[in-house]
Amino acid sequence: MHIGLVGLGKMGNNMRARLRDSGIEVTGYDANPAVSDVASLAELASTLPAPRIVWVMVPAGDITAGVIEELSKELSEGDLVIDGGNSKFTSDFANEKLLGGKGIKYVDAGVSGGVWGKDNGYGLMVGGSAENVAMAQPVFDALRPEGPREEGFVHAGDTGAGHYAKMVHNGIEYAIMQAYGEGYELLEARSDLIKDVTGTFKAWQRGTVVRSWLLELMVLALEADPKLAEISGYVEDSGEGRWTLEEAINHAVPMPAISASIFARFVSRQGEGSPTMKAVAALRNQFGGHAVKKA
């Protein structure tokens, strides 16, 4: 199998490597010629066998829309475009309409795994017709973690469902990180009693009901900087949490935990000394390579 991959940043470059390791031929295009296999999207399209599959892994919004519009001019009827970025699910409807007008198929894919995905695999949530998803199933199977397919991959529904599922996933992620951060601050506040904060988090990794991969990443961050002295408590948000809240309001679904976690990030930008938000910033850096501000 031979596919095209547009966008070779932190995620895309690792995905290209994992696919190649699984025996899938990948031709990658990036605006940075130092990492790109071809010089243009037109050249990318010309290298792929028909029917062509092109995975788009660029920043959501105008950049993704621009790439898909250009691909609509370079690809042909029967080809398939997959948007694997963190796009808002409503953009999938516009993408499908644009491509579908030329007979080009479309699938949206929510991707979780961050900078660790190359070795661990990526959790995948996809939306689109059964026929379109089946066309790319070998690609999804190469990217997902080892083990039962249903534990790392879901065909969540029709177009938009993949990004919708990823949006909710990220909203939940916000709340979990906030809880770990608040727990860290309280443990630090009782340093007269708790003498090993890092060890306490580490001891929760097996057997406890709060164990998770995010907990493991919290331990890695604390082992590198137990007091998180090198990191600011300034925490960005990348959009999915806000979209989750928008949907919650639209459907009258109460989300006190997720909403509080997002508002806490807003507060963090008004002052950078919060131990809780230092922990949240450290977690974002651990799983996604997101930039942090130095203290």
- Give which of 286, 291, 287 is closest to 113, Cα–Cα: 287
Does the annotation mark 105 as catalytic? no
Which amino acid is present at 79?
D
Name every residue whose Cβ is closer than 8 Å to that of residue 87 and which is 6 or more positions away in sequence: 60, 61, 64, 108, 163
Handedness of CA 237, 239, 240, 245 (dihedral sign): positive
Instruction: Report the Cα–Cα distance between both ends of the chain, in Å, rounded.
Output: 47
Measured at the CA of 246, the angle between CA 234 and CA 281, to 5 degrees, comes to: 15
Annotated catalytic residue, options 173, 182, 240, 278? 173
- Find the catalytic residue in 88, 105, 118, 166: 166
- Nearest C-alpha neighbor of 42 from the set 6, 14, 8: 6
**Contact indicator for 217, 287 with CB cutoff of 8 Å:** yes
Active site residue 166: yes
Residue 97: φ, ψ to 5° = -65, -45
Query: Catalytic residue positions?
Result: 166, 173
